[in-house]
Structure 1
Amino acid sequence: MSQTLRQPGIFGQLCWDTYTVLILGFADQPGTTRDDNVATLDKAALKVFDAYPSLAGQVIKTGISDTNSGKYEIVPYPPHQNKSPVLSKDCTALCPSYAEIAAADAPFAMLDGDVLCPVKGMGYQYELGAELPVFLVQANFVEGGVLLCFASMHNALDMNGQGTVLKMFAAAGRGEELDADLVAVEQRDADTIVPLLKEGEAPANHDSMRRPSALAANTGPSTEVKKAPKPAIWTYWRFSAQQLEGLKKEASSGRTWVSTNDAITAFLVQRLTATRIAEGRVSKNELVQLQRAVDSRSVVKPAIGEGYLGHLVALADKSWKTAEEVATSSFADVAVDVRESLKAVDDHFIRSLVTLIKNTEDKTTIFYGAGNKAGRDFLCSSWAQLHWLNECSFGKGLGSPDFVRRARMAPVPDLTYIMPKNKKGDMYVATSLFHEDFVGLANDDGWRARAKLVG
């Protein structure tokens, strides 16, 4: 009997064409072989596929025309029908040893996405017709350990959905039954899970997401002479548990509660903006914008349970009229600005965005951070909610991961990921910055006092 596959939903119709990719590092366990680990992973994957049939599918796009960006669908993917998606790769000659990676704090330089990942991540757009399996796992065996790469097609899942999949995957690896309540949420209809605006209901402002069409008929041949892009690099910075405590305390003015994520985001925005002004790359009178990814599951009314895997991420916008305001305000004031920007992302905002996406034929005209200026603005996403991964066992022979990272993939200037805390309570921030911004931040006394360069 064929199973109904959950579809991408309205949010999943945005033109992502890319993958969300995560690397988990596991040290070898005594008495366990590579074959043992692969067997555990295969068994877990098949159990998860049985509970979530859409994960065994692939994403395709149909109906593209000169004016229509097309429709994403999840359809069966023959290579994953009743077969594990786990790929096994011997990387002993391609990567440093596990001990070396762990001792260096798992920097980007030692996590080459071209080696460790079976797909491309943010910053890379697949061509029409490319095979896009919804879910893949690659077990990269290095000397002394394994680097597990989990990859989800972004139109089908967001990082919050992938987090639920990892939770289920780990439970299956331990031989436990999957959480039936979480599985049940995934069965809800993706196209109606967020209600549209009612007739006559005014929409919210989504101008920051609007851009010119990327369809060929609208772009046409360009006569503009484009400059070569500036080089950009991915870098990890570590905030110790002690520094996080101090940072949050300094960010807490008493006017409103701020989270650790708010504090880290505000700290990055303030220190990097100050550096850019001091070095002449940003004018004191320029506008500065910050967009932060927000999980909409708890925002809409009634709330959507965490078990829903599909894409439901919106952006909270904050604009400062001048860069000087960002650089010279108190850190607590900037942190409050960052926190309060989340208030706009409410039930009405999400329903308005869903309505806009559904009613727009050419969805290439809607994109996150569309109005941002490279080298001036900020786009931040937090994966800190996956902190439980560092204490989560993935089954006999694997145990719990020593680190959770993104691999080094295509640069996306001004994009930042806040990674989950490790077992010590330290938090890692991944930044993709132009070289001069990286150098400026690395030499900024205020930043260096809090953050340690990992690389």
Structure 2
Amino acid sequence: MEEPFNLDIIGQPPHLHIYTQLCLCFSVADDANRQAAAGVLAQGLEKLAQRLPWLAGKIVSISPNEGNSEVFKIVPWASAPPLVVRELRGNPSAPTMETLQNANFPMEMLDEGIIAPYMTIPGGTAGSAPDPTAVFAVQINHIDGGILLTIVAHHQVMDLVGQIQVMRLLSKACRGEGLSDAEVLIANTDRSNIIPPLGDDPEPVRQLSRQKVKPSPLVPSGQEIDKAVSVWASFSFSQTSLAALKAAALATATSSKISTDDALTALVWQSLTRARQRRKNSPNPESEVTLGRAVDSRRYLGIPKEYTGMINNMVYLTNPIQEIVNMPLGKMASELRLAVDPATSQIGLYTRALAALLHRTPDKGVVSMGAAIKPSMDLMLSSWAGADCYSMDFGLGLGPPVSVRRPRFYPVEGLGYLMPRHPSGQIVLAVCLGEEDMAAVRMDEEFGRYATYIG
């Protein structure tokens, strides 16, 4: 890559200057495979960067004109993305594979400051790789009994769907398989105008109003903000409990079709809202709360599913607290389905409108998908359940990963992820809540009927 590579317009807001991390946990029985791992991944990264040169680049900002925000681009940097190798066997700060497996791979044991090349929010004191603006990076962590392979991607460059596609291509390259011309063409597509223009379609005012940052009111001198301590925790949903949950949701569904993801998202939103309602300073039951559900916009815009860019958007559902906690599970799951079903969803229009807003807004920093989210009561949830991570072996000779998790990072209250579905059918929820709310969720009878606390 000799010239700067453009980012998607949706990747331009500076709040996306973060990394998305995935940790794939492999069991190691033969030290010969362990010793070869770094060489296999180094070769694979080099081969992949030869076909996708932007992957070895770094993010830079171009100085704006007065009143404008920065413009971010990818520029040449290295011959391959950074690869960090860290020896953690015998290190008391690192888990063993046995302790991880016995505890079902809790987020608490997978600290980004130890096992990731970059922190989620770059620029911190931890993180092992050079230059906190790389597009993509990998870290191999050798632990007793296993390897923790942490792969990170810059969120301005790609969303989780794009990251999974790059990981799939890396796994192929590590196995010595060539990339098809179609795979290379899609990955190297110019991103300047990938989203169709809005044209004469009316702007969805309510949707866009949720994505514009409003000035924060100043706190009067001497007045303190009541800020609860937030913590991350994980909960497991087995295939059996997910089947029971979907069956329960179907019994009260108001649409002809709902997915397991719809039912699980409905359960999580209801349960978290109910738990938060029980806190000492809970809001009025008539107060409205919002669910922001991350959505891959590709299929709504005719963009190939293999596209590696940042094309993610959000749909929002807002209801009074009392209505959420009392609504039949199936009715809520049905409302969630209508918001994303291609036959009824407005996501294509929403995403085109968001792109148009960003194109005409000089200061991209005032646009954020979480702009209207109130962390203490609202929820932003991303489902990675459909991400096919368990088929990736990266040519390491270790077989598929035994677990895939997001490492623990800085607490962000009201943020949650559904982890990639395990071959057993298990889905794990990672969520960040205030300590009081987390304790209430753990005691919630309806939630506990389906969920098992991991830690």
The answer to whether the superposition gives a TM-score over 0.5 is yes
Letter in 2 for 1:305: P
Cα distance in 1 for partners of 2:72, 2:447 equals: 42
Contact kept in structure 2, 1:266 and 1:338, CA below 8 Å? yes
Cα distance in 1 for partners of 2:439, 2:137 equals: 36
**How far apart are 1:419 and its partner, in Å?**
0.6
Cα distance in 2 for partners of 1:26, 1:152 equals: 20
- Secondary structure (helix, strand or coil) at the match of 2:299 reads coil
- Secondary structure (helix, strand or coil) at the match of 2:298 reads coil
Residue equivalent to 2:432: 432
Judged with a 3 Å threshold, the aligned counterparts in structure 2 of structure 1 residues 373 and 220 are, in CA distance, closer, same or farther, namely: closer
Once the two structures are superposed, the pairs formed by residues 220-239 of structure 1 within 5 Å of their partners are 225-227=223-225, 229-239=227-237
Residue equivalent to 1:174: 175
Residue equivalent to 2:138: 137
**How far apart are 1:451 and its partner, in Å?**
0.2
Residue equivalent to 1:117: 116
Cα distance in 2 for partners of 1:410, 1:312 equals: 24
Deviates more, 1:407-416 or 1:389-398: 389-398
**How far apart are 1:399 and its partner, in Å?**
2.1
Cα distance in 2 for partners of 1:120, 1:149 equals: 11
**How far apart are 1:64 and its partner, in Å?**
4.0
Cα distance in 2 for partners of 1:222, 1:197 equals: 42
Once the two structures are superposed, the pairs formed by residues 6-85 of structure 1 within 5 Å of their partners are 6-15=5-14, 16-30=16-30, 32-64=32-64, 67-77=67-77, 80-81=78-79, 83=80, 85=82
Cα distance in 2 for partners of 1:391, 1:368 equals: 31
Q: 1:346 aligned to 2:375?
A: no
Cα distance in 1 for partners of 2:140, 2:109 equals: 16
**How far apart are 1:435 and its partner, in Å?**
0.6
- Secondary structure (helix, strand or coil) at the match of 1:376 reads coil
Once the two structures are superposed, the pairs formed by residues 374-393 of structure 1 within 5 Å of their partners are 374-386=375-387, 388-393=388-393
- Secondary structure (helix, strand or coil) at the match of 2:438 reads helix
- Secondary structure (helix, strand or coil) at the match of 2:23 reads strand
Cα distance in 2 for partners of 1:65, 1:316 equals: 33
- Secondary structure (helix, strand or coil) at the match of 2:8 reads coil
Judged with a 3 Å threshold, the aligned counterparts in structure 2 of structure 1 residues 213 and 150 are, in CA distance, closer, same or farther, namely: farther
Cα distance per residue 1:210-255 (max 9 Å; x no partner): 11369xxxx9999685526321111110000000111112122262
- Secondary structure (helix, strand or coil) at the match of 1:356 reads helix
Residue equivalent to 1:358: 359
Q: Which runs of 5+ in 1 are unaligned?
A: none
Cα distance in 2 for partners of 1:152, 1:170 equals: 15
Deviates more, 1:231-240 or 1:249-258: 249-258
Contact kept in structure 2, 1:248 and 1:260, CA below 8 Å? yes
Cα distance per residue 1:282-302 (max 9 Å; x no partner): 3211101111111111111xx
Contact kept in structure 1, 2:381 and 2:417, CA below 8 Å? yes
Residue equivalent to 1:454: 454
- Secondary structure (helix, strand or coil) at the match of 1:152 reads strand
Residue equivalent to 1:102: 101
Letter in 2 for 1:193: I
Cα distance in 1 for partners of 2:106, 2:180 equals: 34
Once the two structures are superposed, the pairs formed by residues 170-319 of structure 1 within 5 Å of their partners are 170-198=171-199, 200-205=200-205, 206-212=208-214, 225-227=223-225, 229-252=227-250, 253=253, 255-280=255-280, 281-300=282-301, 303-319=302-318
Deviates more, 1:363-372 or 1:247-256: 247-256
Judged with a 3 Å threshold, the aligned counterparts in structure 2 of structure 1 residues 125 and 150 are, in CA distance, closer, same or farther, namely: closer
**How far apart are 1:209 and its partner, in Å?**
0.8
Percent identity at matched positions?
A: 28
Cα distance per residue 1:319-359 (max 9 Å; x no partner): 11x11001111111111122222244332222111000111
Cα distance in 2 for partners of 1:35, 1:196 equals: 51
Cα distance in 2 for partners of 1:66, 1:251 equals: 53
Letter in 2 for 1:99: E
Contact kept in structure 2, 1:196 and 1:355, CA below 8 Å? yes
- Secondary structure (helix, strand or coil) at the match of 1:425 reads coil
Cα distance in 2 for partners of 1:433, 1:190 equals: 36
Cα distance in 2 for partners of 1:95, 1:332 equals: 42
Contact kept in structure 2, 1:28 and 1:397, CA below 8 Å? no
Contact kept in structure 2, 1:383 and 1:417, CA below 8 Å? yes
Letter in 1 for 2:20: T
Contact kept in structure 2, 1:297 and 1:304, CA below 8 Å? yes
Judged with a 3 Å threshold, the aligned counterparts in structure 2 of structure 1 residues 70 and 213 are, in CA distance, closer, same or farther, namely: farther
- Secondary structure (helix, strand or coil) at the match of 1:47 reads helix
Letter in 1 for 2:139: Q
- Secondary structure (helix, strand or coil) at the match of 2:6 reads coil
Contact kept in structure 2, 1:44 and 1:170, CA below 8 Å? yes
**How far apart are 1:375 and its partner, in Å?**
1.8
Cα distance in 1 for partners of 2:222, 2:122 equals: 22
For normalisation by structure 1, the TM-score amounts to 0.91
Q: Which runs of 5+ in 2 are unaligned?
A: 125-130
Deviates more, 1:94-103 or 1:309-318: 94-103
Cα distance in 2 for partners of 1:255, 1:33 equals: 50
For normalisation by structure 2, the TM-score amounts to 0.91
Judged with a 3 Å threshold, the aligned counterparts in structure 2 of structure 1 residues 26 and 222 are, in CA distance, closer, same or farther, namely: farther
Cα distance in 1 for partners of 2:66, 2:401 equals: 47
Q: How many residues align?
A: 438
Contact kept in structure 2, 1:6 and 1:187, CA below 8 Å? no
Cα distance in 1 for partners of 2:222, 2:22 equals: 37
Judged with a 3 Å threshold, the aligned counterparts in structure 2 of structure 1 residues 332 and 361 are, in CA distance, closer, same or farther, namely: same
Cα distance in 2 for partners of 1:125, 1:246 equals: 41
Contact kept in structure 1, 2:214 and 2:371, CA below 8 Å? no
Letter in 2 for 1:261: D
Letter in 2 for 1:17: H
